[in-house]
A and B are shown apart, each in its own frame.
Chain A
Amino acid sequence: MPIDILMPALSPTMEEGNLAKWLKKEGDSVASGDVIAEIETDKATMEVEAVDEGVIGKILVAEGAEGVKVNTPIAVLLQDGESADDIGRAAAPAPTPAPDAKYESAPAAAPVPAAPSEPAVASDPDIPAGTEMVPTTVREALRDAMAEEMRQDEAVFVMGEEVAEYQGAYKITQGLLDEFGPRRVVDTPITEHGFAGVGVGAAMSGLRPIVEFMTFNFAMQAMDQIINSAAKTLYMSGGQMGAPMVFRGPNGAAARVAAQHSQDYAAWYSHVPGLKVIQPYTAADAKGLLKAAIRDPNPVIFLENEILYGQTFDVPKLDDFVLPIGKARIHRPGNDCTIVSFGIGMTYAVKAAEELAGAGIDCEVIDLRTMRPMDLPTVVASVKKTGRLVTVEEGFPQCSIGDFIANQVQRQAFDYLDAPVITITGKDVPMPYAANLEKLALPNVGEVVDAVKAVTYAG
């Protein structure tokens, strides 16, 4: 069967290029390794080598064409005994990358799957002008999201420790028992592995469970069901059934609750294909994204934060305010340095940006909101603008969310970077109890300010 030759990505950051010159013409035979064309990117001119042997049957993209997207078929290669008549039966081009494939993981030498095209600046869907904004705590926003979804879909129910009669250990499920009754607001025994599994089973049969963990620290008891059952069933069943459900609860350090109760799981869950992972900062995002998570046909890990529960933000008063999963939000536009954070990390990022503005450094703060699938295009576009990147999170440093972003950015925007990426994280220690040590273990605004000054060479 004839083989399509595709527009290759010749640098990790390349998304499109110009076909500067064909070095072979139709009818020429090529051996693998032969240079067949020259391609210009905005940085350089590169040679395209043939991978397969054969005869150039047809050139699809003429010399001089500009803005050819990576992975576009540019020519057809005929194999032994084939003629131009066989074109049209060309093998399907390389499959377009699945959403997750935008995380470049192929060796740099091989043509890597294309990064998606330049994103429009990510923002929330238009909120109609004149929409009333209601100051709402994150706690209320989460509760409202669940209540609204439960009203509209009978399959949605909440289960977890102290969610019903006690009204939630952190009062997130306040009032739900009164409105929906014990059939749909279910107090469980302290048996995380068991009830997580019960939730997954119910989801496999088509219900839409919201499983609350009193905190995500206790979800470690349930890790096997979350990863091995919830995340993998869709794949293992060849798409027949999955686990449309939400695992939610407070994540990360609260205050002085020490090593076993203070862990940020953003990076842990982000590691796992088959999960979506969200960590909102504002009340509006908490509401819009929790509603989206409940409707999503996949298992969604929804990481909240106890310290943020009581904070108030404006939430649009709309009948059905749903936000897209997988879209970052530019919290503060700026030109000098990109700061990427999420969840409670945003509190450091935002304060640092304010302080830096005073020093004449204009930061663009991106709230990632979703860790998986990650909106790298928004991050990359910002870095292309600012040339500098600092990430902020509370989790451990090794294999952090920041590490992943740094890796992707150096692949996709290496030539735009004017300084190494700095990842600000919690320290590489279990969370200590002592007040002074706890403070040292967490990131702080000063560290973010210093990092931005370092990457902007502001001294």
Chain B
Amino acid sequence: MATRAKKASASSAKAKSSTSLTAPPPADFNKDEELYAYREMLLIRRFEEKAGQLYGMGFIGGFCHLYIGQEAVVTGMQMAAKDGDQVITGYRDHGHMLATGMESRGVMAELTGRHGGYSKGKGGSMHMFSKEKNFYGGHGIVGAQVSLGTGLAFANKYRDNGAVACAYFGDGAANQGQVYESFNMAALWKLPIIYVIENNRYAMGTSVSRASAQTDFSQRGASFSIPGFQADGMDVRAVKAAADYALDYCRSGNGPVILEMQTYRYRGHSMSDPAKYRSKDEVQKMRSEHDPIEQIKKRILDEGHADEAGLKAIDKEVREIVSDAADFAQSTPEPDPSELYTDILL
């Protein structure tokens, strides 16, 4: 599903101390990879913008956490992943689902609570799964996915299937106790798992420095000797290189790795967050100087991989996918009332 980039060698991440590695240089993307990454990230962005609109119109209810700004993280990771590698994350999960190849229609229809959604409308924005795409959710409880992801890795090792689990969680989630219990087990048993900490600088209204004694999240596994490094999560090539390194490290039986992806969310925590805890300037600066999609767009144009018209065509195609998904999500029926009592026990 993902285009394969030139493989970054495992030695390209250098050790500073036993657990503090230097990030490998950004991956070299060829034309196909650049265009692929552009389209993937754009799809997530447009999808999230549409979800925001539908929320405002009352088609989506409850909590809805948008991934806008963070698209490069999951896109770069998935470009490096192999079929069979698993993904698990929290509630800010729409991007992860699209990046694992789940259908826009099914994701959007879940957001509107319809039978055609991935969970038949029963899970909603925060709780979606796809066995087929190795996407294990979609979890509403901050930090829970870290232990669950470690369990996926345990099963990989148990089966000796060569697969790696990627557990995504936030800077806020990184303070939950079960994260460290999981780190210890993963290191002890050398489980093939990448802990991807999406550091978007805020957990709801709390900035990293107000909640964390150690703000270098890549070193949160130091006491378990888990290596890690910080990577530019706004640059999809940097993410891809980090992922290549980490996947190789895990697949070689070395145990877990921590990747701190330095990123940013543009929108509020959820649809109901006025985000008064940061300045408009701060947001604007990130958007204008570090936007992952603008960066790649510029490179594509500079390198002549495509012209404006070519990029427009991609945008048009993506918009069509998203509006088709939105139409479907609004018109497809709600679950049958009998679904209330299904799927509770087998």
Contacts and interface: CB of A to CB of B under 8 A. Distances in A.
A190 to B, nearest CB: 5
Contacts of B203: 189-190
A436 interface: yes
A166 B205 contact: yes
A260 B127 contact: yes
Interface stretch (B80-88, B169-177, B246-254, B280-288): B169-177
B177 A191 contact: yes
B255 interface: no
Q: Which of A189, A193, A220, A255 has the most CB of B within 10 A?
A: A189
Contacts of B172: 189-190
A166 B341 CA distance: 39
B177 A436 contact: no
Contact of A441 (B115, B205, B340): B340
Contact of B205 (A162, A432, A435): A162
A256 B62 contact: yes
A258 B340 contact: no
A261 B63 contact: yes
Contacts of A257: 62-63, 124, 140
Contacts, number: 130
Given A256-B61, A257-B62, A436 B337 contact: yes
Nearest to B212: A189
Interface in A7-45: none
Contacts of A432: 121-122, 335, 339-340
A152 B335 CA distance: 53
Chain B interface size range: 35 or more
Interface in B202-235: 203-206, 210-212
A310 interface: no
Contacts of A194: 177
B344 interface: yes
B258 interface: no
Main secondary structure of the interface of B (DSSP, over half): loop
Contact of B210 (A165, A192, A430): A165
Interface string B122-149: 1111110000000000011111000000
A297 to B, nearest CB: 29
Nearest to A194: B177
A257 B337 CA distance: 18
A433 interface: yes
A218 B141 CA distance: 7
B124 A256 contact: yes
A259 interface: yes
A260 B335 contact: no
A190 B124 contact: no
Q: Which of B62, B123, B176, B339 has the most CB of A within 10 A?
A: B62
Given A189-B175, A189-B212, A260 B140 contact: yes
A198 to B, nearest CB: 12
B205 A165 contact: yes
A440 interface: yes
B140 A258 contact: yes
A434 interface: yes
Given A161-B204, A191-B176, A430-B344, 13 more contacts: A161-B206, A162-B204, A165-B205, A166-B206, A188-B211, A189-B212, A221-B176, A254-B62, A255-B62, A256-B124, A260-B140, A433-B124, A434-B334
11 contacts: A166-B277, A189-B206, A190-B173, A194-B177, A217-B140, A220-B141, A258-B123, A433-B110, A433-B127, A434-B113, A434-B334
Interface of B: 61-63, 110, 113-115, 119-127, 139-143, 172-173, 175-177, 203-206, 210-212, 277, 334-335, 337, 339-341, 344
